[in-house]
Amino acid sequence: MIRLIGKGFRTFSNWMSTYENLVAVYAVLGIIVAICGIIMVPLITYHEDQIYSKSINRDSPLDPYDRGGVPFTKVDIEAQYPENSPAAGYVTTYLTPFSWFIANNTPFLGTTIVAHPGGILDEILYNTRGLDTIVETSILFAAFAIASFLFRRKE
């Protein structure tokens, strides 16, 4: 009996020590956690007093990025720590002439945020949470550095 358990354990440890199998192990763990997560969805409570709340105007051509407000005046933006962002609310939205043209003629500007530079600056993302955007671009930079190194390597 003990010999059988030992043999089973050796087979298992041999299987585990092959690194190609670690992806499968992680996938099984992921499936278990995802199922647990889905089961726990009814237990997740929604807290009403949220910051970063926004009202969406579905009829606007800028949907869902329409933040309202008048250009060149201060707009009320909720920030977690308003004392750290004294300029919050001044840079609300900025449209290039091309973006303005798309917004006025089609209902699709909201889907083209990445298609043209300088289209829309999101106040929350770029003013109060600026470090996020810096780290995101660092990730892209690291990924491009690796890709170009592998591409240019002589072998």
Partner 1 sequence: MFNLPIEGEELFVLEFGDIVNYFSLYTTTLFLFATAFIIIAIIARPERQTDIIFGTDAVYTKEVSPDNLRFQRFMAIACGLATLGAVCSGDLFNFCLFTALIGITNIGIVAGVNNRYVLNAAYNYGIVAMVATTFLFGGAATALGSCGTLSIWELAGLGMVPLAAKMFLVLGVMGEGMAPFYIAKAEITRAPGAPYVLMIHVSSLLIFLRVIEIILTV
Contact 92, 69 (CB under 8 A): yes
CA atoms within 13 A on the CB side of 88: 19
> Of how many residues is the chain composed?
155
Binding mask 19-48 for partner 1 (x = CB under 8 A): xx-xx--xx-xx--x--xx--xx-xxxxx-
Cα 104 to Cα 98: distance, rounded to the nearest angstrom: 10
Residue 52 within binding range of partner 1, rule CB under 8 A: yes
Residue 155 within binding range of partner 1, rule CB under 8 A: yes
Greatest C-alpha distance within the chain: 81
Contact 53, 78 (CB under 8 A): yes
The residue within the footprint of partner 1, chosen from 13, 53, 55, 73 (CB under 8 A), is 53
Restricting to residues 126-145, which ones interact with partner 1 according to CB under 8 A?
A: 127-132, 135-136, 138-139, 142-143, 145
Binding mask 84-103 for partner 1 (x = CB under 8 A): xx--x---------------
Nearer to partner 1, 64 or 116 (CB): 64
